[in-house]
Amino acid sequence: MSSKRLKQAKKNLPLHLMLLPGVVLMLVFAYVPMYGIVIAFQQFVPAKGLFGNQTWVGLDNFRIVFTYPKIWQVLRNTVWISIWKIVLSVVVPVVFALLLNEIRLKVFKRSVQTIIYFPYFLSWVVFAGILIDVLSPGTGIVNTFIKSLGLDPIYFLGNENWFPTTVITTDILKTFGFNTVIYLAAISGIHPELYDVSAVDGANRWQQVIHITLPGIKIIVILLTVLGMGNILNAGFDQVWNLLNNNVLSTGEILDTYVYRQGILARLYGQGAAIALMKSVVSLGFIGSSYVIAYKYLNYRLF
Amino acid sequence: MTKHKPSKSRIVFNVFNYAILGISSLIAILLFVHIVALSFSDNTAIVSNQVRFLPVGFNVEAYKMLFQDTRFWRAFGISVRRVIIGVSINMTMIVLIAYPLSKYTHQFRMRNIYMWFFFITALFSGGIIPMFVLLNDMSLLNTVWALVLPTAVPVFNVILVLNFFRQLPQEIFEAAEMDGANEFQKLFRVALPISKPVLATVLLFSIVGHWNSWFDGILFSTTIDAYPLQSYLQTIVIRQDFASAGITDPDSIAQLSNISMKTAQIIIGMVPVLMIYPLLQRYFMTGIVLGSVKE
């Protein structure tokens, strides 16, 4: 090793020291659980521990999982809910950002922003608690309003046909404000001269939106869509588990809730881990390709 | 640009635009007001659908009962403890990891190896079952450590801070080095004092994250006595699973099933977030601009 190398290695020692606690924590709490996916190939007995002498069963757990009559239904529910979420979580915020961008009254603009992104910071427990109250067919204020119009009450959370719609809509309600602010930030980054020049050329406001604003935020829209597609198998455990009930399992059960139900609650550790492993591998593929696409075609650099 | 009179279609658009945005915001506020009104209302008025936006049969019974509910406040205390310990660990980890990773490979050769070591954990995880088994093996179930150690390194917040460090003018670090500062001094004396906006952003995200998370509390506790508040609310308010909370006497169950009691608990559960919301708002933009619109 040259003396220059040695000198740099010595100089970098503090950097290694800084990283050490994080590396140790990640080894224990991220990499050991990654090793723990071997549970999917075992007849796992928790009492023996993660590194204990477990019985290996090859692919048995996977075979059993695929004989579950529900597995394909669960997969379909997951993909259906998440695709709608991915699409609407781009469309709704973009529309709101465009509308908000036309507001000249600063106080009004700021108040609307403050109100619409507050729910983003609430836990799903709190938000679901509110939803369960206001959507209740008997005493909920939403159904009171629907009934006052002379219509029948809607079982938003108790009817299997309504449940996915309710999940998708309420997720958008909770998160669209946050994304709206992202797009507003992107819009405010567009050079004002572009608008001035086009106004001189006689472009009206609508033409400016089509030809300047939308192209100006195109990259960030595509980027967030691409990155969102990595979540195709994550239909939102935090939300769905808080809203799910036995009446709507046929349309509402998603992969993550199913893993929890089978793997932890029913204590079928091996089978739960098998589903989780397949999900993780497929998700890794989706997330990995979405990053690669974003990196290659959108010049996105995360770090 | 000369100001000219807005066209007719522009006026119509403006009216609709203000109306749409105004009405949607108003609905959101009204729903919130409705929830607050429910918590102060008489239960018979609630079940007969009389409560809109003002309490009917105003009373503070729900809050009175809630303040005497030792289970609720134990869970609240666990959440506070979790936030204090968890956020301290998060901030320490974020700063200590982001700084070395903000170096370029010609300054710190191992940088990319470390970067991928951390980033991989954001891409792939073993899932909840191995984590449960691991914490069980380590006898950490039912302790606050089961809630703060698996989440010790929030990788995306690390990336946010490291990108901020990279935008700082390199000259100040070089100047500090001339003065004989080592890397620790460069981090704590030079970088941190001028990184307050991004540190405030990740601090607030970390507080909200720890306060709001509920699933790990349920997953990594075998008794409701070890639940943080959001896990407790999930059990009592959402699932109404009184049996696993050891609540068996009919009076308590009837009280806890009241809508006013449920909404009171939900409201107290969001008060901390409400309290830091003005701060969140101020630093939130910084975080977003740094995190997402980076080219």
> Among A40-44, A130-134, A215-219, whose mean pLDDT is lowest?
A215-219
Q: Given the structure tokens 């982001």, which residue do they identify? A: B98
Q: Which of A21, A26, A54 is nearest to A38 (CA)?
A: A54
Looking at per-residue pLDDT, the higher value among B196 and B85 belongs to B85
Rounded Cα distance, B168 and B229, in Å: 39
Q: Spell out which residues of chain A touch residue B103, defining contact as CB-CB under 8 Å.
A: 15
Pick from B52, B128, B137: which is nearest to A49 by CB?
B137
Kindly tell me if the per-residue pLDDT of B295 is higher than 70.
no
Which of B13, B125, B129 should one mutate to test binding to chain A, selecting the residue with the greatest count of A CBs within 10 A?
A: B129
Q: Is the pLDDT of residue A219 over 90?
A: no
DSSP state of B6: P
**A185 chain-B contacts, CB cut-off 8 A:** 285, 288-289, 292-293
Residue A196 has which token pair?
A: 């001035």
3-state SS record for A132-192:
HHHHCCCCCHHHHHHHHCCCCCCCCCCCCCCHHHHHHHHHHHHHHHHHHHHHHHHHHCCCH
Q: Do A122 and B270 touch (CB under 8 A)?
A: yes
A1 vs B136 pLDDT, higher one: B136
- Judged by CB atoms closer than 8 Å, whether chains meet at B277 and A121 is answered as yes
- Is there a contact between A133 and B118 if contact means CB atoms under 8 Å apart? no
Tokens representing residue A11 in the block: 């100089």
Q: Considering only residues 113 to 172 of chain B, which have any Cβ-Cβ distance to chain A shorter than 8 Å? A: 114-115, 117-119, 121, 123-134, 136-137, 149-150, 152-153, 159, 162-163
Which residues of chain A from 98 to 117 reach within 8 Å of chain B, CB to CB? 99-100, 102-103, 105, 108, 111-112, 114-117
Statement: residue B142 has pLDDT above 60: yes
Given 3-state DSSP classes, what are the helix, strand and coil percentages for chain A, each rounded to the nearest 5?
A: 75, 0, 25
pLDDT of residue A226: 81
Q: Does A301 touch chain B (CB under 8 A)?
A: yes
Q: A207-210: long-range contacts (C-beta < 8 A, 24 or more apart)?
A: A209/A98
pLDDT in tens, A84-102: 999 999 999 999 999 999 9
| Interface pTM, i.e. ipTM | 0.91
Residues B119, A99: C-beta atoms closer than 8 Å: no
Amino acid identity for residue A11 in this structure: K
**What residues in B contact A277, CB-CB < 8 Å?**
127
Residue type, B101: L
- The answer to whether A33 contacts B125, with C-beta atoms less than 8 Å apart, is yes
Cα–Cα dist B219/B127, whole Å: 12
Coil, helix or strand for A43? strand
The per-residue pLDDT for B47 is: 87
Mean per-residue pLDDT of chain A: 91
Give the nearest partner residue to B130 out of A19, A37, A121, using CB atoms.
Answer: A37
What percentage of chain B has pLDDT greater than the value 90?
A: 72
Q: Name the CA dihedral angle for B216, A260, A120, B198, rounded to a multiple of 10 degrees.
A: 50
What pLDDT sits at residue B244?
83
Nearest by CB to A130, from B152, B266, B293: name it.
B266
| B244 sits in which H/E element | none
pLDDT confidence bin for A4, thresholds 50/70/90: confident
pLDDT score at A299: 79
Q: Is the pLDDT of residue B2 over 60?
A: no
Identify which of A107, A298, A99 has the alpha carbon closest to the alpha carbon of residue A187. A99
Task: Determine the pLDDT at residue B292.
Answer: 46
